[in-house]
Amino acid sequence: MVSQTNALPRIVITGLGVISPLGNESQALFDALQAGRSAVGPLTRVPTAPLPLSHGAEAREFTGAIGDYGPMEKPLQRTIRKGSKVMCREIEMGVAAAQLALVDAQLPADKRDPHRTGVIYGCDYIMTLPEEFAAGVQKCLDEDGQFQFEKWGEQGKPQVNPLWLLKYLPNMPASHIAIYNDLQGPNNSVTVREASAAAAMAEAYLTLQRGHSDVILVGSTGSRIHPFRTMHACMQEDLASDREDPTQMSRPFDADRDGGVLGEGAGAMILETLSHAEARGANILGEVVGYGSSAVAARVTDQFQRNALANVMRSALGQASAVGHIHAHGLGTVEGDIQEAAAIRDVFGQSIPPVVAAKSHFGNLGAGGGMVEAIASLMALQQGRLFPTLNYRTPDPRCDLPVTVDDQAPAGDSFLSMNVTPQGQAAAIRIAKFVP
């Protein structure tokens, strides 16, 4: 038996930051979810004429202006404004969510030890914008409009901004955040698509428990709305068809679902050891109490997502036998939802808690989705009640789950939030109300 003196430190949450299709503040996000608002509407950030769909969930309130990063001193404003020249939209959203979380946690520079404060961030692989190479390609076209590769070295490449790659590297959110705020502690980047958020939270949790840091700024950012990424998603993924009312496109677990919906967003949390949070008089919002990560390949079993999700739920539960609610991946694809529902039944049997899926409101935010979803569930714990899962009208007997459909279902004292990639990489996090 482990003595109290050797017990692992408790890890608590003291700040939140969010950039989402439903607003750039955690309370605004939760209020919109409670009100049953959908963020799905006409796409404006990508040309839709060549695509089979024209709707998604854009973070329309995020413009990239310095005001979107929250209140800060003038020197930091100037630094971030200058740095934005080498930040694409996904990185900008990630940095903004992090800055908002620092403010929400009331953790200014004079209240943190830079050597004991770190950053762990989840991110998708980021695709460059085609216009980065447009001028260079133009230089290499002959009079018939054919690209002449032999011209690229001398005439095309010099037209490309030499710093262009910095705008698209998936480790740059963590790098920018650490540099801007002088966070010299552990720094890591996690890139496992939709599973990135919970995997990053798990790594932050373990880093704090190991004693390598007192504070970790953990977050994730992602987007499915991008000229190349949207095209790839249309070619490779099961996406919902346009409907006369686009707010009805995202339908997790509903019998009439036909695919996922594209979105974008970012979220961040401040995690601290309990002793550090109490010493500075922080407002404690919740406690991380479990995590899980797994990868099951399709070549192993055709139920690979089911197996991966069951693995991470069991791991995150640990010795616990129940949670207040489950925040499902809830992508809205036919097969994906069937496998997820089966995984939940595998783990919880006949005692399944309420299940909610925020993707019904804003679709798949890529790597940013898991963090925004966890923030939504944490807000639900604080408010005491859940939000509805939109468009769940006709239960699918293959997805036999107690899906929440109103705004009065109790959130309980804890939740389990999980995500899985199309390749079978899954991660989950369990968060509970803080009890001193």
Mean predicted confidence (pLDDT) in 133-160: 93
Domains and CATH numbers, the chain: 10-127+169-432 (3.40.47.10), 132-159 (no CATH)
Give the model's pLDDT for residue 2.
Answer: 31
Cite the DSSP H helix spans in 182-226: 196-209
Q: Are residues 193 and 185 in contact, defined by beta-carbon separation less than 8 angstroms?
A: no
pLDDT one-digit tens code per residue, 153-202: 999 999 999 899 999 999 999 999 999 999 999 999 999 999 999 999 99
CA angle 279, 7, 379 (to 5 degrees): 55
Give the model's pLDDT for residue 321.
Answer: 86
Cite the DSSP H helix spans in 221-333: 227-236, 274-279, 304-317
Residue with tokens 């390598």: 212
Beta bridge partners of 270: 15, 217
Q: What is the dihedral of CA 123, 305, 405, 33, to 10 degrees?
A: 0
Q: In this structure, what token pair is assigned to residue 275?
A: 């002793």
Give the model's pLDDT for residue 7.
Answer: 84
- Cα distances from 54 to residues 21, 259, 363, in angstroms, run 16, 14, 14
Residues 216, 98: Cα–Cα separation, whole Å: 11
Q: Which residue in 96, 34, 41, 99 sits closest to 266, CA to CA?
A: 96
pLDDT of 249 higher than 90: yes
In the chain, pLDDT over 70 holds for what percent of residues? 99
Amino acid identity of 171? N
Contacts of 278 (CB under 8 A, 6+ apart): none
Hey, CA dihedral for 306, 425, 210, 324, is it positive or negative?
negative
DSSP secondary structure string, 340-357?
HHHHHHHHHTT-PPPEE-
Residues 323, 325: Cα–Cα separation, whole Å: 6
First CA to last CA distance, the chain: 22
For the chain, the average pLDDT equals 96
Residue with tokens 């097969």: 335
Give the model's pLDDT for residue 4.
Answer: 38
Residues 316, 205: Cα–Cα separation, whole Å: 12
> Beta-strand (E) ranges in 208-262?
215-223
Residues 270, 114: Cα–Cα separation, whole Å: 14
Q: How many other C-beta atoms are found inside a 10 Å radius of the C-beta of residue 242?
A: 15
Q: In this structure, what token pair is assigned to residue 203?
A: 């790594």
Rg (CA), the chain: 22
pLDDT of 24 higher than 60: yes
Q: Which residue in 335, 373, 338 sits closest to 357, CA to CA?
A: 373
- SS3 of 189, please? strand
Give the model's pLDDT for residue 1.
Answer: 29
What does pTM read for this prediction?
0.95
Residues 163, 166: Cα–Cα separation, whole Å: 6
pLDDT one-digit tens code per residue, 336-393: 999 999 999 999 999 999 999 999 999 999 999 999 999 999 999 999 999 999 999 9
